[in-house]
Amino acid sequence: MFGLVLWAAGITSVVGTAYTSVSFLTSFHPSIEKNKRYWTIGFIVFSTFVFAVVGEPVFLLIFAGAFNGLILPLTLGSVLLAAHYKEIVKDYTHPLWMTVFGGIVAIGTAVLGIRTLLTQLQNFF
């Protein structure tokens, strides 16, 4: 029974992740939206192929986490820059101290994310 529950959790995670990833791609071309089912199946097949070729589940999980960790500094940096453009944000003045501390956090997370990513790649090869 425990194995069945784990299998069901794994399958729903894979399908949910694939569907979400393909949903992000639908803005690139109308044919992706029209053939979303096939793109989702292709994403699952491609992911399975990568997992079978690499064959290191711990490495893949840490690598994916480290790669996702690079999204925070990019997003935070973009928001901090946008907060100071009056064409984007009207009737709001972002405090300078928040921008400074936000910049420190963005730089810190970028450095740590790149360091983790490079360490994981070095350990793999």
Across the chain, mean pLDDT equals 86
Over range 62-73, report the average pLDDT: 84
| Domain range summary for the chain, segments of one domain joined by + | 1-54, 56-125
**Closest Cα to residue 67, out of 123, 120, 125, 104?**
120
**pLDDT tens, residue by residue, 83-116:** 998 888 888 888 999 999 999 999 999 999 899 8
**Residue 5: predicted pLDDT:** 87
DSSP string covering the chain, please?
-HHHHHHHHHHHHHHHHHHHHHHHHTTT-HHHHHTHHHHHHHHHHHHHHHHHHH--HHHHHHHHHHHHHTHHHHHHHHHHHHTT-TTTS-S----HHHHHHHHHHHHHHHHHHHHHHHHHHHHH-
66 and 123 Cβ atoms separated by less than 8 Å: no
* pLDDT tops 80 at residue 125: no
* pLDDT tops 80 at residue 57: no
* pLDDT tops 80 at residue 82: yes
pTM for the model stands at: 0.60
